[in-house]
Amino acid sequence: MSNKVLIIIGDATETVDTLYPYYRLQEDGYEPIVAAPEKRRYQMVMHEVKPGWTITKEWEGYTLDAVIAFKDIKPEEYAGIFFSGGRAPEYIREDEDLLRVTRHFFETNKPVASVCHGVEIPARAGCVKGRRMATVAKCRFDLEVCGGIYVNEACVVDGNLVSGRTFHDNGRYFGAFMKLLNAARK
């Protein structure tokens, strides 16, 4: 079994959604492979709903290099896939190569994780019908219109699929994803 795990990003990917999993994967001996529409540097953002605000405030975060473009991914070479949040999923979810890769992980029952807006990618790929998932509340519609079941919890496990609502849930849902990866590695 491969030790490589895809991390799916684009411009305006949420910084904490992305970097926590990136380093956590390394702790267990996995190689996080950052994938995006093109092989280049991407600008991440930080999101928070400030006290008194009703919408998300956004600041520039760190940058991160994608080492592979979606079109070059051979999904059979990877142990799992993680869909990060932020605004990026809304813009990259129409990429046919990303949809092909996403479907592979669901069809082969390999470990999949999603946080926040990341749900928009497997939803668009037609992979969430009948599946229970957590996501940020404002993406509930995206999940449900595609046949998924919204669950407002910090960690939702549905077979090979693990999800959390926002980066505030990183310490709760990502451990469940690591357990799936480690069980598949044995």
Q: Which residues are catalytic?
A: 117
Q: Residue 117: name the closest of 18, 21, 6, 2 by CA.
A: 18
Torsion, Cα of 181, 87, 49, 25 (10° steps): 20
Closest CA to 82 of 141, 26, 20, 7: 7
CA distance 120 to 114: 9
Helices (H), the chain: 15-27, 88-92, 96-107, 120-124, 140-145, 170-185
137 burial level (CB within 10 Å; 0-12, 13-18, 19+): exposed
CA dist., res. 104 & res. 89, Å (int): 18
**161: nearest Cα among 121, 125, 126, 111:** 111
List the structure tokens of 106.
């669901």
